[in-house]
Amino acid sequence: MASSELFDLTGKVVLLTGASKGMGRSMAEALADHGAHVMLSSRKLDQCERAADEINARCGDVRAHAFACNAGYKEQLRALVDATHDRLGPIDILVGNAGVNPFYGPMSAITDDAYDKIMSTNVKANHWLVQMVAPDMVQRGGGSIMITSSVGAFGPSVELGTYNISKVAVIGLVRNLAAELGPHQVRVNAICPGLIRTDFAEALWNNPEAEANARRAIPLRRLGEADDLKGLAVFLASGASSYITGQALTVCGGSHMWV
């Protein structure tokens, strides 16, 4: 009989931002299914609590916990990390999934406020989180960090230019952190989703023409679903990926296999 220890996360403490719905919710569910205790965080506490309750009912155990945090504010991230320490203990796994995109259009038209919000939440907030959480992992002799980037990092866009730039920066952040933290056995990787059918990406898929175009361009001939992120999250969190760090792993149905 094959052993399941390769993907066993029993007793591991996970901090996951952007966790109340969509990809974050699916990743949290999968991590809890494999034994981890997960602190779910997003801006709205009621949504986090609802997600945590549903995950706990699914597991038949209290493995999911909720805390409200706007990832764009350093003091709120500090409170989130402190609450995770108080409730669950040192953090073994960090999933930086919170992200924003308040602007669609050419970079020539973006306001300074929108530009700053995208770069601060998508990039700097993850830098802050790693500064706060990595010491736990270094002290314990290892850990896993994954940050959500996007296949948008691999090319330009006339509508999503600033968002894509932020996701390129996430990959750069991941690689530098992987080099810095590797000697401490802390692994750092980027998750690069393609077009996933979530509320966040609704403007890109929720019309017949856009969906038809996407299906023609994707070798698997379907849009991604939030649950398609489950396996990669568990893989990167577990010992199954113990020799993988500094990578940008795509979940895109094959749409970006040529880049």
143 Cα distance to chain centroid = 16
CA distances from 17 to 71, 116, 222, 235, 237 (A): 8, 19, 27, 18, 15
The one catalytic residue among 73, 115, 163, 243: 163
Q: How far apart are CA 40 and CA 83, in angstroms?
A: 11
Cα dihedral 170, 173, 179, 185 sign: negative
* Residue 243 is a catalytic residue: no
Joined tokens for residue 217: 């361009």
60: alpha, beta or left? (left if phi > 0; alpha if psi -120 to 50):
left
Q: Is the Cβ–Cβ distance between 13 and 91 less than 8 Å?
A: yes
Which amino acid belongs to residue 44?
A: K
What positions carry a catalytic annotation?
A: 163
